[in-house]
Amino acid sequence: MKRVHVLNGPNLGRLEWRDSAQYGDLTLAEIESLVRARAETVGIELTWFQSDHEGALIEAIHAAIDAGASIVINPGALTHYSYALADALAMAESTVVEVHLSNIHAREDWRRTSVVAPAVTGSVAGFGPIGYVLAIEAIAQIAAGSAPGDQGPDHSA
């Protein structure tokens, strides 16, 4: 069974208090349930983690790497300035997917830059909670060898 660690950054544990126009109406626990249900159907074992602390997220990335797991990460605001997170993700040899509930490219100028993007296999943004599901499905297809085309730089399932 393919292992995937889903990592969530700052403020994502408090989605119910954030702008629902940007982040939707589901809590992170509800998103986790949705993603776990889909992961089960495609044969993926999930580890789910959320922290408001950069160092804890880096340690979670290291744990995923040590476990040989693929990574789905929503770095939250760390997306825009955490070179330490980018460096940790760059060490991964498995598939890494960056996910954002909102479309960061259609928001404020400062949100349009992702310093982690060069370290990931691919990104999904703007589809709300379904973005996590799309990331899981992409990893499942890559792991099965059924995804067409290039799988991104230096990452394989």
Fold of 2-144: Rossmann fold (3.40.50)
Q: How confident is the model at residue 7 (pLDDT cuts 50, 70, 90)?
A: very high
The C-alpha atoms of residue 69 and residue 65 are separated, in whole angstroms, by 6
More confident residue, 73 or 106: 73
Q: How confident is the model at residue 26 (pLDDT cuts 50, 70, 90)?
A: confident
Would you please indicate which residues are annotated as catalytic (active-site) residues?
23, 100
Percentage of the residues of the chain whose pLDDT score is greater than 70:
84
Does 157 score more than 60 pLDDT? no
* pLDDT of 111: 65
User: What does the CA dihedral 140, 145, 149, 154 come to, rounded to 10 degrees?
Assistant: 80
* pLDDT of 4: 99
SS3 per-residue string spanning 17-30: HCCHHHHCCCCHHH
3-state secondary structure of 106: helix
Does 74 score more than 90 pLDDT? yes
pTM of the model: 0.88
The C-alpha atoms of residue 75 and residue 157 are separated, in whole angstroms, by 21
Tell me what the mean pLDDT of segment 135-143 comes to: 97
Does 138 score more than 70 pLDDT? yes
18-32, 72-86, 109-123, 143-157: which range is least confident on average? 143-157
